[in-house]
Amino acid sequence: MASAAKEILLIDAVLWSEAFSPSDPLRSAPSWFDPHVSSPGRTWMRSVSAEADLSSEPGPQVRGVILSGSPRDAWSTDPVNTALCQLIDRCHQRRIPLLGVCYGHQVLGRALGAKVAPHPQGWELGNVPIQLTPAGRKSLLFDSFPETFDALQSHRDAVLELPPGCQLLATGSHTRIQSFSCDDLLFGVQFHPETRPDILRYLWGPRLERWRGNIGFDLDHRIATFQEAPQSALILNRFVHQIAQ
């Protein structure tokens, strides 16, 4: 690791059941993010579990924080949620940029005072068009993005109202708040810029029997037709190289 490389901290909030073998290479949230974050001589990514003691994070060398997705409920009375809200507050006070992804986006919304809850229309899954707002088109997070782009989604909860003092950066037909920012420092995206179709299929494999027939669309067809969303993956690049200075 080059001494000049800046450190990006990933808070890994994923919970794994016994249905996922520890030997499977896809069973690793850091491996999903690292190709988009680490750059030899420029950046390196350090990963910490959301269940670890986060009281000393972010450390003095951290230039940016990413909070991952998770099957956890961001709205529940969970000590992990409490600790993450405190971490977000420390990032805000210390002016350390943070990007929340899916669950991380929802925890960020909660920390900033928004209502977070199960979406009234249920699951949003698969490739979804994302529409930038005027504020989003000006944001460094979406620098050089087209006004509408494709992103992969997998969530049942949502930020249902914009946190006070925040800007809406992107929206969608199912979930209105697809991205928001606070002070051009804290950013949330409801979709998954780090993921690929094979990762989502892997994550949904053990859940198919539970949800097949109990969801408002053809689940097997939706999963079979996942497509790559390379434009949305560039969000991680924008966060690391243009925001986390």
**3-class DSSP state of 152:** strand
The verdict on residue 148 lying in a domain is yes
Residue 79 belongs to a domain: yes
Which entry of 36, 91, 102, 124 is annotated as an active-site residue? 102
Domain encompassing residue 63 = 6-243
- Can you tell me the distance from the alpha carbon of 51 to that of 218, in angstroms, rounded to the nearest whole number? 35
Burial of 11 (0-12, 13-18, 19+ CB in 10 A): buried
**Gap between the Cα atoms of 193 and 150, Å rounded:** 10
Neighbouring C-beta atoms of residue 182, cutoff 10 Å: 20
Residue 194: active-site member: yes
pLDDT at res. 213: 85
**1, part of any domain:** no
Q: With a cut of 80, say whether residue 3 has pLDDT above it.
A: no
Contact 136, 142 (CB under 8 A): yes
Reported as a single tens digit per residue, the pLDDT across 24-39 is 999 999 999 999 999 9
Q: Is the pLDDT of residue 4 over 90?
A: no
**39 DSSP assignment:** B
DSSP classification of residue 241: I
**Which one of the listed residues 7, 57, 124, 194 is annotated catalytic?**
194
Question: Which structure tokens are listed for 190?
Answer: 């409801």
Answer whether residue 25 is part of any domain.
yes
pLDDT of amino acid 216: 87
What residue type is assigned to position 75 of the chain?
A: W
Residue 174 is assigned to a structural domain of this protein: yes
For residue 51, being part of any structural domain is answered with yes
Mean pLDDT value across the chain: 96
Reduce the secondary structure of 56-68 to three states and give it as a string. CCCCCCEEEEEEC
The mean pLDDT of 50-69, rounded to a whole number, is: 97
With respect to residue 81, please indicate whether it lies within any of the assigned structural domains: yes
Note the pLDDT tens digit of each residue in 155-195: 999 999 999 999 999 999 999 999 999 999 999 999 999 99
Using one digit for the tens of pLDDT, what is the confidence trace for 81-103? 999 999 999 999 999 999 999 99
Residue 52 has pLDDT above 50, yes or no: yes
3-class secondary-structure state, position 42: coil
Q: Which of 36, 105, 155, 192 is catalytic?
A: 192
CA 218 to chain centre: 25
Whether omega before 40 lies within 30 degrees of 0, making that bond cis, reads: no
Q: What is the CATH number of the domain that holds 25?
A: 3.40.50.880
Q: What is the pTM of this model?
A: 0.96
Torsion of CA 191, 157, 166, 142, to 10 degrees: 0
Q: Give start and end residues of each alpha helix (H) in 27-166.
A: 29-37, 79-94, 103-111, 134-138
Q: Is 119 in the active site?
A: no
The pLDDT tens digits for 147-161 are 999 999 999 999 999
Residue 166 falls in the annotated catalytic set: no
The DSSP call for residue 2 is -
| Domains: count for the chain | 1
Q: Is residue 35 part of a domain?
A: yes
